[in-house]
Amino acid sequence: QVKKQCDQKLLIRMKTKCVPCSLNLDTQCPAGYTKITNGTGTPDCRYYLEIKTFTLSFPGCRHRCVKEFEQPECCQGHWGPDCMGK
């Protein structure tokens, strides 16, 4: 039995929106993503508050999220929608 389908595993990474660290505890990743940071997340961003004519910038936190995705792919030497071509 020759293997015809060699699916590729892809890891899709994303970060949540930057918010005040104290409010980031309950932040969830989008559906299908897994949160890989704990607590208040990573303090590596800034969020902005507009007050009339001023925009203030504050240090904030965000979470990192990952999603595993399998991309169908044929093994070398095979092709086509069902990977039967040789």
| Residue of 68, 17, 63 lying closest to 36 (CA atoms) | 63
- The strand pairing partners of 64, in sequence order, are 15
Secondary element (H or E) of residue 66 = strand 64-71
Which residues contact residue 46 at a Cβ distance below 8 angstroms, ignoring those fewer than 6 apart? 18, 57, 58, 59, 60
Which pLDDT score, from 0 to 100, does residue 80 have? 87
- Per-residue pLDDT of the chain (86 residues), as tens digits, is 678 889 999 999 999 999 999 999 999 999 999 999 999 999 999 999 999 999 999 999 999 999 998 988 999 888 888 888 76
Domain boundaries, the chain: 8-71
d(CA 68, CA 29): 14
3-state secondary structure at position 34: strand
